[in-house]
Amino acid sequence: MQMPDPDAVLIGRKADIVSKLERLLPADAVISDIAETRAYECDALTAYRCPPLAVVLPGSTEEVAAVLRLCHAEGVPVVPRGAGTSLAGGALPTADSVILGVARMTEVLETDYNNRVIRVETGRTNLSVTGAVEEDGFFYAPDPSSQLACAIAGNIAMNSGGAHCLKYGVTTNNLLGVTMVTMDGTVLELGGAHLDAAGYDLLGLVCGSEGQLGIVTEATLRILPKPEGARPVLMGFSSNEVAGACVSDIIKAGVLPVAIEFMDRPCIRACEAFAKAGYPDCEALLIVEVEGSDAEIDHQLGLIKQIARGHDPVELREAADADEAGRIWLGRKSAFGAMGQINDYICLDGTIPVSELPRVLTRIGSLAAEYGLEVANVFHAGDGNMHPLILFNANTPGELEKAEGLGADILRLCVEVGGCLTGEHGVGVEKRDLMADQYAPADLEAQMAVKDVFDPAWLLNPAKVFPLQVSEARRTARLAAE
């Protein structure tokens, strides 16, 4: 990937754009000092960096619209940014772009328990949405591992999931309405606090569109009453394949746990060392959690344990109390951090039909051996959303590239078995060139034609989602036609 350094033309351009931005926004909402913009030069995909032209931190939908109108008129690309936790480079700047961050827009605008909805500004973090309603017994269901930091804006952009989405669905299933500003500054209201909507489902289209169709400034989210109780059970198995087969059997039996999480040996060890979760020392571990009344939990866990016993588990243990349950989840939720302490890694996000889990885990093992790299697996098994972590040493020249090669092969494998490139992290820059493996030209064309509608000049979150050559060719052709 080429990231040209800012050149002389850019410097003059920058001065002009920054002064215009400063006329639109409060003084502290425009960041142009090169040292300060460095904080925005990457997101959580830290292998790629590029300082932007400037950063703006508007405080309202109106200010967002004003910035977009200006950038639209000036032909300046805009990169939307939530909390910058994207693992796929979804918030990576280009050198000629303005980063538009929603971090200052964090208000709760309305809480309506009668209709079980909350309306928030999208800079608010995922966990603090739950924080705003939990005293009254409610929660917001999607729970990405980064939920302490990640913003609702990014959750919507990537259609984020999380461990408990097996039961509650991902962001799109919990998003009822948005206020979105398109690149030309038009403010749209999509959806609302009601079932469905008349006409086309633009809300569904916008959710997961990676900030390329507009900037979502406010969101109406479904909140749910906290379940009476929840209890995880730990299941250890003698191989990844056996654990995968067990997941497949649970799903097939139609029991609906809130979560089925999977960890293989490298992850189990790292998490145990990090969180003292009480994990058994085995090849593969499942954490299966069910919710409800005590009677319901007992009933469901009974069925689940019966299925697990058919796979000769080396461990089968229900959490005895809330404290043990908390430790079990702390281990899982700190998996990425724990792995990061001992390795550099690339985290993939391929999603496959659940029945393919055993076969795909075996193939990932073989591919890793071919590349001479280690892969640790930790993921949402219930919905087939895999997160292979490819471990490598960033200080060894060529090893990042090797890891990326393995990552691409694993994702192609996911597509080959009927799955897809990404479940919840998005395409970003990371997987843009693999989109041609996922989609036929006509399918890609349909997506890009929709982009044309909302952002004819392709200024919003450029150089992402679509194969770079394809999107650049399209952009050039459109500019020539104007």
Which of the residues 7 through 66 are near a second copy (CB under 8 A)?
A: none
For residues 206 to 235, the per-residue mask of contacts with a second copy, x marking binding by CB under 8 A and - elsewhere, is -xxx--xx----------xxx---------
Distance between CA 202 and CA 200 in Å, rounded?
A: 6
- Select the residue interacting with a second copy from 67, 151, 335, 352 (CB under 8 A): 352
Say how many residues touch a second copy, by CB under 8 A: 85
Best CA proximity match to 377, nearest among 233, 453, 270, 220: 270
Distance between CA 109 and CA 107 in Å, rounded?
A: 6
Beta-sheet pairing, 259-264 with 374-380: antiparallel
Q: Which stretch binds a second copy (CB under 8 A): 56-64, 201-209, 308-316, 326-334?
A: 201-209
CB of residue 419 to a second copy, shortest distance in Å: 5
Residue 296 in contact with a second copy, rule: CB under 8 A:
yes
Q: Which stretch binds a second copy (CB under 8 A): 32-40, 202-210, 282-290, 472-480?
A: 202-210
Of 159 and 334, CB closest to a second copy: 159
Of 204 and 365, CB closest to a second copy: 204
- Select the residue interacting with a second copy from 283, 355, 365, 374 (CB under 8 A): 355
Residue 465 in contact with a second copy, rule: CB under 8 A:
yes
Look at the block and give the residue holding tokens 């069910």: 290
Please compute, for residue 45, the number of CA atoms within 13 A of its CA located in the half-sphere on the CB side: 22
Please compute, for residue 341, the number of CA atoms within 13 A of its CA located in the half-sphere on the CB side: 13
Residue 202 in contact with a second copy, rule: CB under 8 A:
yes
Q: Is the dihedral of CA 29, 34, 36, 39 positive or negative?
A: positive
CB of residue 367 to a second copy, shortest distance in Å: 20
Beta-sheet pairing, 98-101 with 54-56: parallel
The answer to whether 285 touches 279, Cβ cutoff 8 Å, is: yes
Applying the rule CB under 8 A, the residues between 392 and 431 that interact with a second copy are 418-424, 427, 431
Tell me which DSSP letter residue 125 carries: B
Residue 293 in contact with a second copy, rule: CB under 8 A:
yes
For residues 103 to 142, the per-residue mask of contacts with a second copy, x marking binding by CB under 8 A and - elsewhere, is ---------xxxxxx-------------------xx----
- Select the residue interacting with a second copy from 69, 104, 299, 359 (CB under 8 A): 299
Residue 457 in contact with a second copy, rule: CB under 8 A:
no
Residue 320 in contact with a second copy, rule: CB under 8 A:
no
Sheet architecture: strand order including 344-347? 315-318, 229-237, 284-292, 259-264, 374-380, 388-392, 344-347
The single-letter code of the amino acid at 273 is: A
- Select the residue interacting with a second copy from 320, 440, 477, 480 (CB under 8 A): 440
Applying the rule CB under 8 A, the residues between 364 and 383 that interact with a second copy are 383
Burial label for 11, CB within 10 Å (0-12, 13-18, 19+), is exposed
Residue 436 in contact with a second copy, rule: CB under 8 A:
no
Distance between CA 16 and CA 10 in Å, rounded?
A: 10
- Select the residue interacting with a second copy from 1, 148, 253, 473 (CB under 8 A): 253
